[in-house]
Homo-oligomer: A and B are copies of this chain.
């Protein structure tokens, strides 16, 4: 078999851990497989590099500021959109993965294996050239094949590709997952293993519901709908990629040999339950517009304004018209709420009375997901019944073929999640003694 293994930042977070990864890779190779490895930067390294860039910019504004500590993790560049700056940010950030790749190749050699690291253009991953958030366009796997046929483990630096002009472009936060799936697709690998510090994908967040169960198999579609669960485990774009090219993905722990979660196409997923998982998303906020003139083009004007401000709208509800005006309610990421309200108050719509903009950040979204819904009627009704029996008021509902999402008050979020998790039979078996 040809196996692509991706090790995340915590799995290569120290020299000791890199050595453990090497042992696992060599065991896989000794079992008779060809192995391509994709690595992330050592944990913390990407943030350290971004902090350097931000501190350097801060220095230009206030030279005496150097002594200030870095401005926390995951601070996006302040010069987003400045292409020259983003190009340099990519040149800077990719060094994190390059270091991991070289160290893992050395660790494999130290343990007696044959290995080579590939970085930047050596990998053959071509992108559309968008700095800091590139999309993969093609993979030239000639070099990879050559090294594999020489009996080597090939360790590729993740998160990066080369644009049409020969510049390094990175694939966005978590991009190493997408690197791994893209290489697996190009090489027609038998499996893409995502080795991480959790056991797999769970029916819900185990920190909220201790009775959450590991899902043995899940379809690409379900995984995409469970983005808020899945995003903690792997970059959601990698799932889109895996679905497009039918790459079987196996999310599993780098610390043991347990089976994790297989993400695969529906026809291969024989044992699907009606509901596969329940997700809680606290990062949404609700906006209600009252007195919206009920005429063609109005709704387009509203959402066009938000789109131009790069605000992503999730659920939308429009109430029935009452005498020429209507109410529109929708949700946006909580971070964007303030900005959304500002944008909407700017909007001057020709109409009856003045439009009012109301906002509410104290909400959350619960989603139940399962491909079984396609063939099982009444899943939504059953969900409402479960929430009703807990006296939880449903503020908004949205459904798709394989998902039901409801908006409830923030304070009922965890209760709702546990009730739905139990109600759809997802709780783990209780111990015999209980």
A21 to B106, CA, bound (A): 35
A25 to B82, CA, bound (A): 21
A166 to B101, CA, bound (A): 17
B59 near A16 (CB under 8 angstroms)? yes
Say if the beta carbon of A66 comes within 8 Å of chain B. yes
A110 near B19 (CB under 8 angstroms)? no
B57 near A106 (CB under 8 angstroms)? yes
A406 to B72, CA, bound (A): 60
Please report which residues of chain A, range 108-124, place their CB below 8 angstroms from some CB of chain B when the two chains form the complex. 109-111, 114-117, 119-122
How many Å from the CB of A428 to the closest CB on chain B? Answer: 36
A91 near B102 (CB under 8 angstroms)? yes
Please report which residues of chain A, range 43-62, place their CB below 8 angstroms from some CB of chain B when the two chains form the complex. 49, 52-53, 55-57, 59-60
Residue from A52, A63, A82, A85 whose CB has the most chain B CB atoms within 10 Å:
A52
Copies of this protein in the complex: 2
What B residues does A14 contact at CB under 8 A?
Answer: 66
A53 near B84 (CB under 8 angstroms)? no
B121 near A56 (CB under 8 angstroms)? no
What B residues does A60 contact at CB under 8 A?
Answer: 19, 107, 110-111
Say if the beta carbon of A88 comes within 8 Å of chain B. yes
| CB nearest neighbor in B for A60 | B110
A160 to B88, CA, bound (A): 18
Contact bitstring A90-105, B, C-beta under 8 A = 1, else 0: 0110010011011101
A101 to B52, CA, bound (A): 13
Number of interface residues of A (CB under 8 A): 45
Say if the beta carbon of A18 comes within 8 Å of chain B. yes
Say if the beta carbon of A15 comes within 8 Å of chain B. yes
| CB nearest neighbor in B for A18 | B56
How many Å from the CB of A117 to the closest CB on chain B? Answer: 5
What B residues does A102 contact at CB under 8 A?
Answer: 88-89, 91-92, 95
A53 to B52, CA, bound (A): 24
Task: Evaluate whether A98 and B91 lie within 8 angstroms (CB atoms) in the complex, with A121-B121, A122-B166 already known.
Answer: yes
Task: Evaluate whether A106 and B122 lie within 8 angstroms (CB atoms) in the complex, with A15-B52, A59-B16, A66-B14 already known.
Answer: no
Say if the beta carbon of A188 comes within 8 Å of chain B. no
Among the listed B95, B114, B122, B166, which residue makes an inter-chain contact with A98, where contact means beta carbons less than 8 Å apart? Answer: B95
Known: A15-B66, A88-B116, A92-B99. 18 other contacts (CB 8 A): A15-B59, A16-B59, A19-B59, A53-B106, A56-B103, A57-B110, A59-B110, A82-B109, A84-B109, A84-B115, A85-B106, A88-B103, A88-B109, A89-B102, A89-B106, A95-B95, A122-B166, A122-B167
A interface residue numbers (CB < 8 A to B): 14-16, 18-19, 49, 52-53, 55-57, 59-60, 63, 66, 82, 84-85, 87-89, 91-92, 95, 98-99, 101-103, 105-107, 109-111, 114-117, 119-122, 166-167
